[in-house]
Amino acid sequence: MDALQNTSEKYNMRINTKTTKVLRISQAEGRPTRINVNGQNLENVKQFCYLGSLVTEDGRSYREVRRRIALGKEAFNKKKDIMQKSLSLHLRKHLVKLFVWSVVLYGSETWYGMV
């Protein structure tokens, strides 16, 4: 962190220690990671949302998959009124793919460690 701090100061930039968090990804529980910037400890977190995906300390995707399924259900319920019986089955399937699958599968290429 010293090198990052020195480089940022060289370009008149500062690290915001109030919004910067530390997440240690490890399968085994260990000691908390202590990182100091300008004499202030950065906050350790167990999970955070990065670019719309949930990152957890154990490195698994279980919580992210469950969260995406819940978001998909929410997206479906918001569009439920347009899923009328008067629409053809083909069109309703297409609408589900458009409104629900896109929400559920966002970021799925990074899901791993489901076991």
Instruction: Report pTM.
Output: 0.63
Looking from the CA of 13 toward its CB, the CA atoms found within 13 Å total 8
pLDDT of 44-56, one tens digit each? 998 888 888 888 8
| Contact present, 110 and 82 (Cβ < 8 Å) | no
Residue 51: left (phi > 0), alpha (psi -120 to 50), or beta? left
Kindly report, residue by residue over 83-113, the tens digit of the pLDDT: 777 888 899 889 888 888 888 888 787 776 5
pLDDT tens digits, 36-81: 888 888 999 988 888 888 888 888 888 888 888 999 999 989 888 8
Instruction: Tell me the C-alpha to C-alpha distance, in Å, between residue 74 and each of 47, 78, 80.
Output: 22, 6, 10
Overall average pLDDT of the 28-36 stretch: 78
> DSSP letter at 38?
T
Spatial contact of 83 and 92, defined as CB atoms under 8 Å apart: yes
- Whether 64 and 111 have beta carbons less than 8 Å apart is answered as yes
Residue 107: closest CA among 46, 45, 64, 58: 64
90 CB-side CA count, 13 A: 0
Confidence of residue 115 (pLDDT cuts 50, 70, 90): very low
